[in-house]
Structure 1
């Protein structure tokens, strides 16, 4: 008769009692629930008394909010600065750090958006946010709110199945006895739990401490045990003949013995002597700590693995081994932090930044808006400079060889600013105004533009070359370099009706409307070519050179007194009055003729007025080598950082062959 027995699908040796299910002590091993996440006081005691618990909770939260964001997509870089300043002023990153900390400690935490004039129990409607209404966020941990377990979000989306409301308890610092709608909060959980366990925790997560509490107690016990051993590292024993009889009798003999022992303890040193009876014996016992450090290290590594924080970051411990720098550990850790940022912070920050933008700028985020979490891995200045130089050289080489357009080159340079911090001031307006066609590639059979004589190669009335020049030969067969397209400012014809420079222009200080600015431009600049003399202040101070004579053509443009509306996208062609620029219309010609500083910027001659409060009034001219005139491009205000970037690019400008008289 066969007997059925249950077996375990694993390796077993019943004779040796080896393997799970073979009747040994290992069979009794099992896992249970600690439910530490429900014991608030115990978690708080651990956080306050154990520095390891403090590190486990704080390090990840602080690293997730340490470097902030790289924001892109705004036409005006100053708008990005306004948003960043608001994030700092309202302590958003500090509050988010606290939210993540208490979410990790307790298993869940909320950051409530404080919007003036709105009721917390209503859904968030960003269109009703007034300028200046956003006042920051308030942190409420899981023990300060009660989620609505029977009223869950039923709309499909990332919040589906989560509590729709959170009722604040009466003991909270703010929102006492109030109800908060889920759309107004940023919720951070600790460790995500499966469904039934999440139900048992009132739809909250689990504390990160719960998983490692057994390893933590072992580590602390081993550390304290090692500390106790120090007290017994050097023991001394003193053998006295008939000690028990002396203690039993007591009296003067016992007192004399104690006095002798005290004298031995007092005078025993490198210079002292130990006096005792010939029948007495004195011995020392020393304890060796060999291997104890490895035991503590192994316990520490288990904690490090449990919380996914490397030893160098958790304990501040340098890595062991030859050529160990800890960079690989930190690199993996930073990748994990970035994953946590993307998973837990991206969606909430998208809403939060929309609220900040409406409150600070009075407009919604542009459609081109994007943001990335700034890298925790910081490059030193030398590496940044090396990368910037390499990227700039590569981009300029591609541009000069006709591979990419000027617009693409500017986009690539601005993109590199996320790593190097250089070229970050290139705006969408700069890109929009750049050429959208690549330049003619360099070739060995081309002639330098400086040797071209326009009169030797006549054009027809449309600005095209005739079949033959004065020599009677086809100019296109002589190996000349392709000519840049003729400027549309005057139909491809060379500059005519050149006017002398006006002695002075009427003041533009009182201009306050677009119509007034347009009328001023049409009267004094539109379709006019002025003969101007550019003076170098530095050469004049040294008693030097004659002014450089140039001709400047002004087109039907409004880029001298207008700008894009705040928040407008790159493709929006609408322009509004810039009163700041309009008031400077009468300074355009004086700035060209007597610039405080003259620079070269991406094929332009840049004439700068004297700086005012760290900003420069800048007039952009671009040389037309075919018509031998300068075309007025635009007039802007530039910051010191933008000017420094232009100065840093001067070496690149030396490679530009389209040079006018000022650059030559």
Structure 2
């Protein structure tokens, strides 16, 4: 293209900022030196390269096999540092346009195809990451009957003194941004483009905007002083020296006491630049970068979502779907031969049932896990019914399915070991004689209030107060005394409130808890807080929260915005400063649920010992 030499100062036609420049597209050329300079010199290119690569490997994979097989395979992954090598290769592929992992099996001739069937236990020796600069693609395979059709038929790696030819079956190939031309094109020579090629203009615009805003900060306030005959007097060197001395002293006096001394004929003025709206402009450029890189702004910039009711959930879900697509459509096919070698190297054979799935990036919160657990348990109870023996699906089958689901969801850590130790449901099903004996023993020892609860009339809703007493109250009182509490509630009064419903509720609809005794393991989140005049111990107990939610679903009311399990220790106004109190960290044992009607004057019966 030949351009004339005419340029316009007003329209900037013919300059690098020609208004018509953006309507023309040219073939982008980005050298390795430019790529490295951008990656090392600016944080935006580094994040665009690193974030998807890191997220693709962050949660890694879940192997599906027997426990011992999974242990051996994961040990092999750890020995070879598979996760680290793949992360390094993906990062280099995104940066330079391509990279490979060499599968080292110790064969004498790497130019021959890799036979995975010949890999024995421990046969995978090492993995070596090679970037595009380390490996040169050979001639393109034109045989349509070959599995490598349209791809390089070999690669050449150049070492310090030798050149090694490598068969493509021995390499895990990763491409950067896929090239529209085929692999024979001179544009890529067997590789893809750097992911920075299409995003660099957006990155530079954002960086230059941020730089200009930063420079504008220093010009946000400018002092202007008008002097009579200033230009005419500049020819006098003594005048220039006097001017510099004069305003150096003026700035010093202004900095000391905020007073500026001027001659009567001098004029002083301050001009400030408005910075309003600059943040919106910069964020607009950042959003363009985010779109170009296909990374949400919340992930790219590490900031919280902005705007009313904005959570960023949908953006992150779309991004996680994209990462999952990369894992399933790019990483899995590329790593297929490496995985076959690794399974054989770890196990000594290839069991057909061994496979894996990529771990999801979206992790459920504790509340979501609890809700899923409760939903699954309720569904299992509904299917089993009353246990009359007329169910479509047997109790044992539901137990087995529910156990598998709980293990997969990971909501009850150690469940498999507990089942191995104590047996499954059908293995510990009591006999009719055992059930009758247990019922008789319970009737003889059951507290009066519990029998009243069971005899409650579901046709007469009433207010409801549900609590559990602290069985090991002596341990908590001993701890409180050590922490400086002079008085505490009596041991019989230490309890946890589960429901306090002033609204009448059907007690029979509320039902009963799964367990008559609840143990809260030692440790975990514990805090001391002041609720009004009460000093309380806050702790975490998912079963109490589930039970509270279930009672509310049955129609109970609750006077507070949320439920937090706690034990009231003392109402003593002279209690020690809670900042100096170390929360109780021992086990908390709670007795059976106690049902009673709400007493509005409950404070009248509070006393301490």
TM-score, normalised to structure 1's length?
0.56
Query: Which of 374, 377, 380 lines up with 2:365 in the alignment?
Result: 380
User: Match of 1:307?
Assistant: 293
Displacement of 1:325: 1.6
Tell me, yes or no, if structure 1 residue 222 matches structure 2 residue 209.
yes
The superposition leaves residues 169-188 of structure 1 with CA deviations (integer Å, 9 ceiling, x where unpaired) of: 2359xxx5111111121111
Q: Decide whether aligned partners of structure 1 residues 313 and 296 sit closer, same or farther in structure 2, where only a CA change above 3 A counts.
A: same
User: Match of 1:161?
Assistant: 150
Displacement of 1:152: 5.3
Q: Decide whether aligned partners of structure 1 residues 326 and 274 sit closer, same or farther in structure 2, where only a CA change above 3 A counts.
A: same
Query: Which of 111, 122, 140 lines up with 1:121 in the alignment?
Result: 111
Displacement of 1:59: 0.1
Query: Which of 74, 97, 109 lines up with 1:84 in the alignment?
Result: 74
User: Match of 1:30?
Assistant: 24
In 1, the alpha carbon distance for the partners of 2:83 and 2:226 equals: 67
Q: Decide whether aligned partners of structure 1 residues 417 and 336 sit closer, same or farther in structure 2, where only a CA change above 3 A counts.
A: farther
User: Match of 1:367?
Assistant: 352
Tell me, yes or no, if structure 1 residue 40 matches structure 2 residue 16.
no
The answer to whether the Cα contact below 8 Å between 1:71 and 1:372 also exists between their aligned partners in 2 is yes
Displacement of 1:211: 1.0
Displacement of 1:194: 2.5
SS of the equivalent of 1:31 reads coil
Displacement of 1:217: 1.7
The answer to whether the Cα contact below 8 Å between 1:91 and 1:136 also exists between their aligned partners in 2 is no
Query: Which of 252, 257, 265 lines up with 2:251 in the alignment?
Result: 265
Tell me, yes or no, if structure 1 residue 131 matches structure 2 residue 128.
no
In 1, the alpha carbon distance for the partners of 2:283 and 2:22 equals: 29
Displacement of 1:390: 3.6
The answer to whether the Cα contact below 8 Å between 1:40 and 1:106 also exists between their aligned partners in 2 is yes
The answer to whether the Cα contact below 8 Å between 2:39 and 2:46 also exists between their aligned partners in 1 is yes
The answer to whether the Cα contact below 8 Å between 1:102 and 1:108 also exists between their aligned partners in 2 is yes
Q: Decide whether aligned partners of structure 1 residues 196 and 80 sit closer, same or farther in structure 2, where only a CA change above 3 A counts.
A: closer
In 2, the alpha carbon distance for the partners of 1:351 and 1:408 equals: 39
The answer to whether the Cα contact below 8 Å between 1:404 and 1:438 also exists between their aligned partners in 2 is no
Q: Decide whether aligned partners of structure 1 residues 160 and 321 sit closer, same or farther in structure 2, where only a CA change above 3 A counts.
A: same
Tell me, yes or no, if structure 1 residue 143 matches structure 2 residue 129.
no
SS of the equivalent of 1:195 reads coil
SS of the equivalent of 1:137 reads strand
SS of the equivalent of 1:258 reads helix
SS of the equivalent of 2:198 reads helix
User: Match of 1:109?
Assistant: 99
The superposition leaves residues 40-79 of structure 1 with CA deviations (integer Å, 9 ceiling, x where unpaired) of: 111111111111000000000000000111111x23x132
The answer to whether the Cα contact below 8 Å between 1:407 and 1:434 also exists between their aligned partners in 2 is no
The superposition leaves residues 193-227 of structure 1 with CA deviations (integer Å, 9 ceiling, x where unpaired) of: 23357623113212211112222221111111111
In 2, the alpha carbon distance for the partners of 1:211 and 1:66 equals: 26
Tell me, yes or no, if structure 1 residue 179 matches structure 2 residue 168.
no
Q: Which has the higher contact order (CA 8 A, sep 6+)?
A: 2
Tell me, yes or no, if structure 1 residue 293 matches structure 2 residue 285.
no
In 1, the alpha carbon distance for the partners of 2:398 and 2:124 equals: 38
The superposition leaves residues 394-441 of structure 1 with CA deviations (integer Å, 9 ceiling, x where unpaired) of: 3465456451574674355324433335478759x98xx989x9999x
Displacement of 1:448: 5.0
In 2, the alpha carbon distance for the partners of 1:69 and 1:378 equals: 14
Higher-Rg member (1/2):
1
User: Match of 2:604?
Assistant: none
What stretches of structure 2 of length at least 5 have no aligned partner?
1-18, 437-591, 593-609
In 1, the alpha carbon distance for the partners of 2:414 and 2:237 equals: 89
Q: Decide whether aligned partners of structure 1 residues 66 and 152 sit closer, same or farther in structure 2, where only a CA change above 3 A counts.
A: farther
Displacement of 1:375: 1.0
User: Match of 1:170?
Assistant: 159
User: Match of 1:638?
Assistant: none
In 2, the alpha carbon distance for the partners of 1:56 and 1:198 equals: 28
Tell me how large the CA RMSD over aligned residues is: 3.3
Q: Decide whether aligned partners of structure 1 residues 81 and 208 sit closer, same or farther in structure 2, where only a CA change above 3 A counts.
A: same
SS of the equivalent of 2:260 reads coil
Query: Which of 390, 405, 418 lines up with 2:408 in the alignment?
Result: 418
SS of the equivalent of 1:319 reads coil
In 2, the alpha carbon distance for the partners of 1:93 and 1:397 equals: 43
The answer to whether the Cα contact below 8 Å between 1:123 and 1:183 also exists between their aligned partners in 2 is yes
TM-score, normalised to structure 2's length?
0.61
Tell me, yes or no, if structure 1 residue 235 matches structure 2 residue 225.
no
Query: Which of 189, 195, 213 lines up with 2:200 in the alignment?
Result: 213
Tell me whether 411-420 or 242-251 shows the greater mean CA deviation: 411-420
Within-5 A mapping of 1:540-559 = none
Displacement of 1:114: 2.0
User: Match of 1:494?
Assistant: none
Displacement of 1:117: 4.4
SS of the equivalent of 2:114 reads coil
In 1, the alpha carbon distance for the partners of 2:254 and 2:159 equals: 66
Q: Decide whether aligned partners of structure 1 residues 403 and 317 sit closer, same or farther in structure 2, where only a CA change above 3 A counts.
A: same
Query: Which of 320, 323, 327 lines up with 1:337 in the alignment?
Result: 323
What stretches of structure 1 of length at least 5 have no aligned partner?
1-24, 441-446, 453-650, 652-664
Displacement of 1:164: 2.4
Displacement of 1:97: 1.0
In 2, the alpha carbon distance for the partners of 1:239 and 1:402 equals: 97
The answer to whether the Cα contact below 8 Å between 1:68 and 1:373 also exists between their aligned partners in 2 is yes
Tell me whether 77-86 or 230-239 shows the greater mean CA deviation: 77-86
Displacement of 1:314: 0.7
Displacement of 1:270: 6.8
Aligned residue pairs, count: 410
Within-5 A mapping of 1:50-69 = 50-69=42-61
Query: Which of 41, 44, 47 lines up with 1:49 in the alignment?
Result: 41
Within-5 A mapping of 1:245-644 = 245-251=232-238, 253-269=239-255, 271-364=257-350, 366-395=351-380, 398=383, 401-404=391-394, 406=396, 409-420=399-410, 422=412, 426=416
User: Match of 2:489?
Assistant: none
The superposition leaves residues 553-609 of structure 1 with CA deviations (integer Å, 9 ceiling, x where unpaired) of: xxxxxxxxxxxxxxxxxxxxxxxxxxxxxxxxxxxxxxxxxxxxxxxxxxxxxxxxx
User: Match of 1:462?
Assistant: none
The answer to whether the Cα contact below 8 Å between 2:139 and 2:152 also exists between their aligned partners in 1 is yes
The answer to whether the Cα contact below 8 Å between 1:108 and 1:190 also exists between their aligned partners in 2 is yes
User: Match of 1:536?
Assistant: none
